[in-house]
Structure 1
């Protein structure tokens, strides 16, 4: 990835639009970025990182905080980066969340984060562009990462070596360095694998413990320690079961014999019981004989009555018909008399109303006349109302005309007066603008004085704090040097002790186990004092604690120094802007108070002038409108006068056509309504009387017909009854019945017939059955006695109880055998599961200890740390090749492989090899300049390794934000040579620095300048 053009708008210190065209460098791949403190050099890197990932290069400030305070509110914060990857051109656009002015009305609206990525044909010239991703940064960032090959953390480490950041990898301890490297290599899958193995180990161990507990619980339930101890118990149970089977067979034979004897005696006893019960039943039948014979006689009488019953039913029906005909005849006579009276009354009422018809015709003629007179009165009333309204309109028009003429004269006088007052105010607007301009300049001047005073106080406080941190830094550095010296002495004593033990085993002529030499002229001697492991560990911990405190103090010191430089730069800018007009704070405040009073007076005059102008325009408009209205009023007055005259003539003509009796009446509706009611009432009465007469006559004729029919029906019913009465009387005289009452009492219902018949037949059948069964039993029981069942039942119960006891014993033995057999099988299965689980646990435990760094002689090297260690080896190898050149062949960086403390993690510590001494030592022993060269080499090595492992991604850009101020001339020369070598590979290398030697050596420069209104930048080639 190689940047081609960067365009900023309202970003950081750049208030307007700022263009960085890197194509101007042409073949100059190494360039310097210089400028004042706070001018916006690092902002260039922030903008590139924001355009791609939506984050700043250092990650310390949010993108919202990067909006320029110098920018106009209407200017939006936007970043556009055009870059090249493998010959393809792309454009990345980014705009942070910000408040922008509303398009309509006042106030601001919130704009969300906007991000887009395009593939383009040209950088400057218009051409086609394809939108790859547009929306939020969360959707654009994955496309950028896939295109460039790095996430934001990797990009910062590889492309942008941010200020104060690339020293972290050198000065960090092993754990801190692990966190830094994890941002470059995804080891989370290894960590998940390690955690999964640890969880599996714990679960399998618990399974083994659970299985062992289950097996012990099963054995304990039978009070044995081993499963083999259960086999004798099973054999004894089998022997006892065979014996129980024999006892069951013997008991079954005895029970069968007793059961047969008991059944035979029980059957004989049942026969004697049946004979006794049948004798009792025969005696009960004898007692019912009279009742059954009476039922049979009643059934016989019913049969005789059944023969005469049809004729009796005919007689009974004829009697009912005669009674019904008598009732109908009486009712028809009563109805005929009532209908006759009603018909006579209706005829009389209709005759009376027919005589009043001439009077009804006279009322109708009077009604027609009243309606005509009423219509004429209504028309007259309407004309009189119109006449009143016309007179009122005439008076209103006359008054309105008079008022309009008066109002028009007043408005013309007011217009002349306002013109005179407007001339007296003069040119107060120009004076007000000039006064406000002077006031704003004075207020800005006062704010500038206040800013300078505030920054001076901040500078004093920051200086005091920096001096305090300087003293703390010197103290902590002394503590680190002291702790490192103490640890080195203890380690040398330990190494001397080890060498003395090896020397004690040397024999002349035998090879040395270390160097292989057969000659041993100077064997090592033991030291005066041999340090213990606890002393070495305590010394290492003291050194680590001192180094950690020194690193924290150094970070605070660097941060405070940058803060001091920033405050000093801001103060210089403020003094530069305010130097042109020196004035005291009090004098400036007095001038402001005077200008405010003048501005207030002029504002009042300007407002009065504007009010007069507005009033003058309103008066002119009102005069024009009133003149138009006056013309309309005069026209309206003539129309009202003509209408009044016309209506007077119409009213006089109508009065002549109305009778004098009704001229003063306003309404004839009551008279008309009363006459209409009389006419309607008479018509209704006549109609009702006619309908009532017709209906009464019809009902009378109907009643006459009904009466005639009832008389005929009575005669027919009487003749039929007399005929049926003679027939039934003759039949009864020939029957066994005395009269009709005896016949009716002998007739039974169907239910009574069915019930009595069943009782008689059941009695006769039961008598035959009992007699037959008694004869059979007398034959069977001849010569036999009724047996006693109690002894036989006791014998049977004893035999059955003995058999049940034997069966229960066999069931208990079977259950004991089943339980023991199931227990043995379960123990065997659990034992097999325990062996399998133990094997799985041992394998998982071994893998877990290896993966989590706790399996090989107590080492703490996990899978993920091992992978990061191999990555660190590549980084150190690449870094050493550059450090070796910049240190003139003295230093190389290597990874520390030995574990000083068995209880702590290791594998990512860095130490250096010194070619002058041939020994290894901690990187904390570097001097300030050496530490900078080592940090630079390490950062470049890190960038190189990550780039080479990025799957073929070609990164042609590197930015270094560091000052190079701690280097001497020789080290600076070597650093420049390394940077030149990097740029010679075709890589674009940009360096921020204030060192004059770099400005002299690097001709291509990007100069950033700052002013009170914001910063600007340009290439100087």
Structure 2
């Protein structure tokens, strides 16, 4: 509570941060030491000497460097000899290859000379065929155009024979008569379609007029039905209003159900926490035993180490050298070292084990303390749930009549009274060092079965009330839906009626337009037949127009095709003449004679091309510098040069491997030496940097000899605040106890509820000149001592908060435990607070106390379950 009020969490967080930094510092030092060991191991590995010491490392690395320089010089000399031998071998190989190429090229030149004349003939045929090829396409196009002209003439002659009356007309006249016939066909076809449908259109118009009359009668009947729905709507609205009144109890019923479920959950959570509290208490006991054993083990090791320290020091004695303790150079009887003498590592491991055990104990106690608080809250919540359940049953506003009869009001009150008595007893018997034991014993005395039964009864009544309210809501929703459906149907019926009326008017106007269109079509057909003999119909006129259109179209197409074929034949002849001239032939016949078959043309191209490529390759090869300078009398020795090069390469390879090994050892040992020096420097730097952090963490966490009080930083701050609270409370307690009692802060926990060392209380009894435990107080003394602490705490909090005024205080119950004289003292102190400007409210059932207070608010319950509030203001 004090941590929350005074905000001292920052000191605990500061301690945690220092402890974390201490762990990090230890880890850094350990890591630096490991890095030094690893660097030395790397240096030994690089030097190839597992016994190499740090003092000898620098000379060894320098010797490795000198050996590497000598090996590198021998390697470079061998590489130069190898390169010279390789150059000589390459020269001999190139000479042999050049002589071979020269002989092959001379043979290929003789073969080309033998076929020279045949290739010249093929070259002449190839050139003529290539010049004649462009004229081949125009010649074929001219032949095709001539054939097309002949076919077009035959088609035109047949058309003239079939239509002799039209053959004499010019082309423009034929086109004009064709277009006129096309227009007549389209116009007469449309009139023919109109003439064919006139009878059906008249009959359909008569049927539509009769149907229109029937629809007018139906719309009148629909209008009368829509008027009658208004009376039905009034009856439905009255039913909805009555259902809404019944559904108003839904929200109160839901609230009651949630409260009943929460009460049952609190009772069940109390049972779970009771088991967890017992387990936590057992874990605290186990952790404490383990921590004590670890402390004993560490102490025993340290004692054994101190006892055998003489033997450990004797191991460093050397004859002729002074003793580090007494300075003597003679050591006649050095103390022996026992076999089981503990080393410093053994002591450090025991210390680490003890620290881990103490941390585990602290964690177990923290967990037990948290569970104690949660268990206390759960007990209080279960009691409050039981009281609320009892009041709900007695009130009768939520539960039904059967549940009210089954749960008398005095059962819960008696059960709570029994539980409080058990709490007081178990709190006295609990061990002072176990923060959860007292609360666990108090929770064991709670009758969970009875509390759960009461919560179940309350839940059953709430569910029944909710079911009734939900049925009423469902009925109301159903009626509202029926009204909405009824209104929607009425709206749709009205819309349909209006739309039908509009559609009826539109249909009447459409039928008038249809009759006008029938009259217009009849007049158009009569006008088309007016110039023809009686009995003629539109279909006969369409056939005659179609025959005229076909004849004119045939003659026009034939004449135009003949003209196009003549123009094309003349163009193709001109193209052929131009192609023959470009190919430099005297005539088309000469060009046709020079043509070569495509397959033969490709063969000639391949043969001549192959001859030309081979000639170019041979000429280029013989002109190459390494071949042109040869006479054919040279004699290269490739095998001797290759043997000399192989020998030089082998020697160079051996010396290169030796130099590589020497260089690698020199480089790796040099890098390892630098890494070792850096690791040593880093270790010294880390050790210097972490000393202050470790000391500060030991002081703040009370983990080292520097903190002689064993109090953590956060607890120290709370001790100072607690002293202020006790001093402020004594100024109130002296008045209320008539100077008899005074509170004193104690450095030893005397209550099972105390969670931090130094925050306990003792009572100084001035009447007997003794110091008492707060548990020895009577109920009234406990009440006004607690009230003094609360008022003192309020004063200190107000001062700490920068003068913020705590203007209102409420005190709930406890006055019934005071005798009349003490009650007068307490009321006088509260009156003094009220006179200083504070508002003090007292919640109490003590009748005498009610008469002492002028300004009152009284709440009384009526027989029907409701309540009445009365306010009285004194003068």
Please state if 1:459 is matched with 2:414: no
- Cα deviation for residue 870 of structure 1 reads 1.5
Task: Note closer, same or farther for the CA distance 1:887–1:677 as it changes in structure 2 (3 Å cut).
Answer: farther
Please state if 1:1014 is matched with 2:868: yes
Task: Note closer, same or farther for the CA distance 1:853–1:693 as it changes in structure 2 (3 Å cut).
Answer: same
1:206 matched to which residue of 2? 27
Tell me if the contact between 2:780 and 2:819 (Cα under 8 Å) persists in the aligned partners: yes
Matches within 5 A, 1:77-226: 180-221=1-42, 222=44, 223=50
Quote the Cα distance in structure 2 between the aligned partners of 1:298 and 1:189.
109
Alignment equivalent of 1:285, drawn from 96, 103, 109: 109
1:439 matched to which residue of 2? none
- Cα deviation for residue 887 of structure 1 reads 3.2
Q: Deviations over 1:352-386 (max 9, x none)?
A: xxxxxxxxxxxxxxx9xx99x999x9899899989
- Cα deviation for residue 787 of structure 1 reads 4.3
Please state if 1:815 is matched with 2:635: no
Alignment equivalent of 1:880, drawn from 720, 725, 730: 730
Alignment equivalent of 2:57, drawn from 230, 233, 248: 230
Tell me if the contact between 2:95 and 2:636 (Cα under 8 Å) persists in the aligned partners: no
1:690 matched to which residue of 2? 548
1:927 matched to which residue of 2? 778
Quote the Cα distance in structure 1 between the aligned partners of 2:403 and 2:572.
139
Task: Note closer, same or farther for the CA distance 1:199–1:685 as it changes in structure 2 (3 Å cut).
Answer: same
- Cα deviation for residue 913 of structure 1 reads 2.6
Task: Note closer, same or farther for the CA distance 1:780–1:852 as it changes in structure 2 (3 Å cut).
Answer: same
Alignment equivalent of 2:155, drawn from 332, 335, 356: 335
Relative to the length of structure 2, the TM-score reads 0.51
Quote the Cα distance in structure 2 between the aligned partners of 1:280 and 1:452.
128
Quote the Cα distance in structure 1 between the aligned partners of 2:401 and 2:622.
145
RMSD: 6.2
- Cα deviation for residue 873 of structure 1 reads 0.8
Residue 815 of structure 2: SS of its match in structure 1? coil
Quote the Cα distance in structure 2 between the aligned partners of 1:257 and 1:838.
61
- Cα deviation for residue 234 of structure 1 reads 0.8
Alignment equivalent of 2:654, drawn from 791, 805, 815: 805
2:718 matched to which residue of 1? 868
Please state if 1:838 is matched with 2:687: yes
Residue 873 of structure 2: SS of its match in structure 1? strand
When Rg is computed on C-alpha atoms for both structures, the one with the higher figure is 1
Tell me which protein shows more strand as a share of its residues.
1
- Cα deviation for residue 546 of structure 1 reads 12
Quote the Cα distance in structure 1 between the aligned partners of 2:406 and 2:571.
138
- Cα deviation for residue 876 of structure 1 reads 0.6
Please state if 1:848 is matched with 2:683: no
Matches within 5 A, 1:246-395: 246-248=73-75, 250-252=77-79, 254-255=81-82, 258-259=85-86, 262-263=88-89, 267=91, 270-271=94-95, 274-275=98-99, 277-296=101-120, 327=147, 330-331=150-151, 333-344=153-164
- Cα deviation for residue 878 of structure 1 reads 1.3
- Cα deviation for residue 759 of structure 1 reads 4.2
Relative to the length of structure 1, the TM-score reads 0.45
Tell me if the contact between 1:962 and 1:993 (Cα under 8 Å) persists in the aligned partners: yes
Please state if 1:965 is matched with 2:819: no
1:681 matched to which residue of 2? 539
2:350 matched to which residue of 1? none
Task: Note closer, same or farther for the CA distance 1:231–1:904 as it changes in structure 2 (3 Å cut).
Answer: farther
- Cα deviation for residue 898 of structure 1 reads 5.7
Quote the Cα distance in structure 1 between the aligned partners of 2:624 and 2:420.
138
2:675 matched to which residue of 1? 826
Tell me which protein shows more helix as a share of its residues.
2
Task: Note closer, same or farther for the CA distance 1:679–1:913 as it changes in structure 2 (3 Å cut).
Answer: same
Residue 817 of structure 2: SS of its match in structure 1? coil
Matches within 5 A, 1:419-818: 457-459=408-410, 462-463=413-414, 466=417, 542=431, 549=438, 679-695=537-553, 756=608, 759=611, 781=633, 786-818=635-667
Task: Note closer, same or farther for the CA distance 1:918–1:845 as it changes in structure 2 (3 Å cut).
Answer: farther
Tell me if the contact between 2:39 and 2:679 (Cα under 8 Å) persists in the aligned partners: no
Quote the Cα distance in structure 2 between the aligned partners of 1:682 and 1:280.
98
Residue 743 of structure 2: SS of its match in structure 1? strand
Tell me if the contact between 1:271 and 1:777 (Cα under 8 Å) persists in the aligned partners: no
Quote the Cα distance in structure 1 between the aligned partners of 2:810 and 2:81.
114
Q: Deviations over 1:105-139 (max 9, x none)?
A: xxxxxxxxxxxxxxxxxxxxxxxxxxxxxxxxxxx
Q: Deviations over 1:825-858 (max 9, x none)?
A: 2233333333333344443333233323434557
Tell me if the contact between 1:212 and 1:834 (Cα under 8 Å) persists in the aligned partners: yes
Task: Note closer, same or farther for the CA distance 1:688–1:1006 as it changes in structure 2 (3 Å cut).
Answer: closer
- Cα deviation for residue 299 of structure 1 reads 5.6
Tell me if the contact between 2:699 and 2:712 (Cα under 8 Å) persists in the aligned partners: yes
Tell me if the contact between 1:928 and 1:966 (Cα under 8 Å) persists in the aligned partners: yes
Quote the Cα distance in structure 2 between the aligned partners of 1:550 and 1:270.
106
Matches within 5 A, 1:886-905: 886-897=736-747, 905=756
- Cα deviation for residue 788 of structure 1 reads 2.9
Tell me if the contact between 1:215 and 1:827 (Cα under 8 Å) persists in the aligned partners: yes
Quote the Cα distance in structure 2 between the aligned partners of 1:746 and 1:374.
77
Quote the Cα distance in structure 1 between the aligned partners of 2:156 and 2:401.
133
